[in-house]
Chains A and B, each alone.
Chain A
């Protein structure tokens, strides 16, 4: 009897926890912290904004497959500047540009196991 009530109370408390924690932390997490650092020098990116925002992973993966697995460097441009390097050319701070969002969303980045940024 008492055990049942204790367990159900625990369930109700558990259900209230996320809301309480969200109320507590919302003030700290400002939106600007998560907007990718935008350069002032360049006007446009490699691809349009929506594609870069939602599909940069697919783009980077297809580049990797093309270059590493098929030895086709044509997509990197004549001077090879359109690869990973082109990101850091404008977005200089990796912590602000890559790490913050990915760690927030539990995404492990393995780009930098090989690449320098």
Chain B
């Protein structure tokens, strides 16, 4: 990793302190000051933010040091900072900041830059964030979908799928495609390809981020390389599933509600998608697999999931307009992702309604736009805020392992169990956990 800091060569005379020459990352600073960190330079390092933060530990506080690093343009430190990802943008810091430097928004902008920094290819990540990129991508996706439809038809796959079902014993299932021009085989092939690319890109990003954490970590891993990984994973998963961190937020409690709606809604939609799209190959299915009746449990779950995502997005949008806690109105990349999600959900509901009403050809057109917008969502996923699904999870696991996520109240109530095991690891000032993870109860 290229360092922006270099120690001045030691002079023969003894010095009182080591001088460090700093070369700021101008690109990072420019991006920060343009979007999300406009008020960054107002920070006067009073540390009110770190003091009022409900999520940071007394022994390893943030976001004051991130504000300082950002002001100085210390890109390397910021891009490998675990604490960046422990912040859940409650805006307690923003509300209490005496200078209006909005640390909560700076942290969000830094996370965005961190996603771009670790994404492959980095240039594409930056391009996707541009104002008109989503529109271009949507047009491109419609074009790709159209070309795929024609190609699929030319190769005879469409006719093969439509004609194949029916009279071949009891093993097969009957699966009607929503639109006969977009058979399930095509959707499975195209979307699996893009999803696999997403997984690969996010996997590389997660690996890079983990290594960055490892390089800069002060405390030694108390568990060794693999030991205790299971419990760290469980602890991180529990924090994510129960939304514990959001519950600690003071200034913007509604963030937890909208986030939970979005997480659980999208998870529900993902599960239903998997079920429906793979219906043709699902050994659990028999009989008429698709279309689903309106009161079919899968259909109910899909509709509830869609509603949850829509409500979550609308709550997030109103939150950005109401600006509780003095947060900003949200950056442009924030808004374009929200608009894209709303577009996906609304076109989904619209095609459902038009399908029941049998309004043609509008239902096919809306369905085409729906599929194209889902395709765009999959394409931008590893470069958008949604990448935090992976990055924050990686950070939470890493933080569990290095003891950074234990909160004071849970730490005090934990007693002395496991104290001896970690006695030798207290190297940095307060960066090691005083107790082991095995004795850590669920942080509630």
Query: Which A residues form the contact surface with B (CB < 8 A)?
Result: 1, 4-5, 8, 11-12, 14-15, 17-19, 21-23, 26-27, 29-35, 38, 49-50, 53-55, 57, 101, 103-106
Contacts of B268 in A (CB 8 A): 14-15
Contacts of B285 in A (CB 8 A): 22, 26
B288 touches A105 (CB 8 A): yes
Smallest CB gap from B300: residue in A: A18
B293 touches A35 (CB 8 A): no
B243 touches A105 (CB 8 A): no
Smallest CB gap from B158: residue in A: A50
Residue B267, interface by CB 8 Å: yes
Residue B411, interface by CB 8 Å: no
Smallest CB gap from B288: residue in A: A34
The contact of A22 among B243, B264, B284, B288, by CB within 8 Å, is B284
Known: A50-B162, A53-B162. A32 touches B301 (CB 8 A): no
Q: Produce 1/0 per residue, B152-193, CB < 8 A to A.
A: 000000010011011100111110100010000000000000
B170 touches A31 (CB 8 A): yes
B167 touches A35 (CB 8 A): yes
Tally of chain B residues near chain A (CB < 8 A)? 44
Contacts of B300 in A (CB 8 A): 18
B289 to nearest A CB, angstroms?
A: 9
B444 touches A1 (CB 8 A): yes
The contact of A53 among B166, B170, B171, B304, by CB within 8 Å, is B166
> What is the CA–CA distance of A11 and B271 in the complex, to the nearest angstrom?
13
Residue B298, interface by CB 8 Å: yes
The contact of B297 among A21, A29, A38, A49, by CB within 8 Å, is A21
B287 touches A18 (CB 8 A): no
The contact of B287 among A33, A38, A57, A106, by CB within 8 Å, is A33
A8 touches B241 (CB 8 A): yes
B242 touches A26 (CB 8 A): no
B294 touches A30 (CB 8 A): no
B281 to nearest A CB, angstroms?
A: 14
Contacts of B288 in A (CB 8 A): 29, 34, 101, 104-105
Contacts of A57 in B (CB 8 A): 358
> What is the CA–CA distance of A11 and B308 in the complex, to the nearest angstrom?
11
Write 8 A-B pairs (CB below 8 A) sorted by A numbering: A1-B247, A14-B301, A29-B287, A34-B287, A34-B288, A50-B159, A53-B162, A105-B291
